[in-house]
Amino acid sequence: MRVAIIGTGYVGLTTGVCLGYLGHRVTCLDTDESKIAMLRSGRTPIYEPGLEELLDQACPNLCFSTSYADAIPEAEVVFVAVGTPPLPDGSPNLGYLRAAAQGIADHLAGGFTVVVNKSTVPIGSGNWVESLIRDSYAQHHGKNLNGRFAIASNPEFLREGSALLDSLYPDRIVIGADEARALEVLYSLYRPVLDQTFAPPTFLPRPDGYAAVPLISTDLASAELIKYAANAFLALKISYINEIGRLAEKVGADVTLVAKGIGLDARIGTRFLQAGLGWGGSCFGKDTAALISTAAEYSLPMPIVAAAREINSAQRVRVIEKLLAELKILKGRTIGLLGLAFKPNTDDLREAPAFDVARQLIARGANVRAHDPIALERARHEYADCGIAFCESPADVADSADALVLVTEWPEYRDLDWEDLVGGMRTRLILDGRHFLDRSRLTRAGAHYVGIMG
């Protein structure tokens, strides 16, 4: 099928490359010329494991452009995957979505086109985009579209860092539309994934025992709500285990064992029960805020979601409390942060806990140094004036430091030369913000190990 994708961020680019790999003819569109130039030369503007390799393999089926005229007129399916960053009141900024709707309307031509919202958009946005396209088209072309397009929602569940696996081997695919023929088009588009008939890339083998993918076909509003409800639920799980973690510390229990003990109950599940600094990234914070803001439009409070957000913010403060309890004075101390990305295997720094922690430490007069195996360059560029000294190696961060805080659980941090690192510190305090490091190994290396939950 002929596909256009508007927006080459994590979602749009991954979707475009995967659909191209599956054999569809895909044009990826972005207004940022530098991104398009990079993609044309075979490089990706984001760090996502395997994406450049798959881009290379899908290359014959992919085009990159900054022009709606190149992408829209021929497309049978147009995905809208533009950013919806949060506004100060928690509601999402729909400016990019509006611009995309306008661009689509100006260039729609020919047969039936399905316009698919893949950005996480507030419930009701499908109807809104539909009316924008209809009105804009009538204004631009002086006639009505008369049933030549339909709107659908196809929420994305991919996680940064494992985006390709999540796209090729998803737990489920959700499509929502109020018109049956739009659902049929999306069904055909996803058929190779649904039936798993494609040959897996050599570096992304199909997981053992993985077979057909469940398809959930819904109305527009249900698909839109599924996305928010899924992200909010995952956020709740994390905040729940963090709340239990606080109690665990008081009563002398080990929260990681408690998580294992409850997670093995299949009704609860083991994933997203990792206690620590809490969630970051561009999704959970924004989506929980947007859910609360949508509910408020109906005068409906969402106390559970609101509590999850409060607990998450408090986890960042906990780092400062722990450091204060151990070091007594933060002024003039040197605190090293291991990890800047909001989670491992990505260079994404949006809402990354490291910067919340650094801000609070700097406000209290501490010197902050930080390292990240992948996101360092991006941090230097995007956070040039934040007051953090960015270091090339964990050893540079540890040298004469008063404490090291493990912020992001990059696998390589577990196997550092801890004897050497700890030996070079002024005060040998290691605060494990993710309950990730090997406590006994660190203790043997001479460190005073403290977990964020005790």
Question: Cα–Cα–Cα angle for 148, 152, 158, nearest 5°?
Answer: 140
274 binds ligand UGA (CB under 6 A): yes
The β-bridge relationship of strands 403-406 and 429-432 is parallel
Stretch that binds ligand UGA, among 23-31, 180-188, 279-287, 354-362 (CB under 6 A): 279-287
Chain positions 328 to 357 lying near ligand UGA, rule: CB under 6 A, are 342-343
Q: Binding of ligand UGA at residue 18 (CB under 6 A)?
A: no
Q: Which position among 18, 28, 63, 283 bears the catalytic label?
A: 283
Is 186 a residue that touches ligand UGA (CB under 6 A)?
no
Instruction: Please choose, out of 20-28, 72-80, 231-239, 319-327, the segment that lies near ligand UGA by the rule CB under 6 A.
Output: 231-239
Of positions 13, 100, 283, 320, contacts ligand UGA by CB under 6 A: 283
Distance between CA atoms of residues 284 and 275, nearest Å: 16
State which of residues 9, 276, 373, 394 lies at the interface with ligand UGA (CB under 6 A): 276
List 13, 80, 164, 234, residue binding ligand UGA (CB under 6 A): 234
Beta carbons within 8 Å of 338's beta carbon, 6+ residues apart: 370, 371, 394, 397, 404, 405, 406, 407, 408, 410, 413
Q: Which is nearer to ligand UGA, 24 or 343 (CB)?
A: 343
Q: Tell whether residue 128 is a contact of ligand UGA (CB under 6 A).
A: no
- Assess 278 for contact with ligand UGA (CB under 6 A): yes
Closest Cα partner for 231 from 301, 153, 283?
A: 283
Residue of 231, 239, 288, 334 that binds ligand UGA (CB under 6 A)? 231
279 makes contact with ligand UGA (CB under 6 A): yes
User: Of 156-185, which residues contact ligand UGA (CB under 6 A)?
Assistant: 156-160
Query: For the sheet containing 173-177, what is the strand order?
Result: 62-65, 25-29, 2-6, 77-80, 113-117, 149-153, 173-177, 215-218
H/E/C letters for each residue in 335-357? EEEECCCCCCCCCCCCCCHHHHH
Residue from 15, 120, 125, 153 touching ligand UGA (CB under 6 A): that is: 120
To ligand UGA, the closest distance from the beta carbon of 155 in angstroms equals 8
Q: Token pair 């109906």 is at which residue?
A: 298
Backbone torsions φ then ψ of 114, nearest 5 degrees: -100, 125
CA distances from 396 to 327, 343, 390, 433, 448 (A): 21, 21, 9, 20, 19
Size of the site for ligand UGA (CB under 6 A): 21
Active site residue 28: no
> Which has the closest alpha carbon to 175: 196, 193, 156, 161?
156
Question: Which residues have a catalytic role annotated?
Answer: 283
Interface contacts to ligand UGA, rule CB under 6 A: 120, 156-160, 231, 234, 238, 272-274, 276, 278-281, 283-284, 342-343
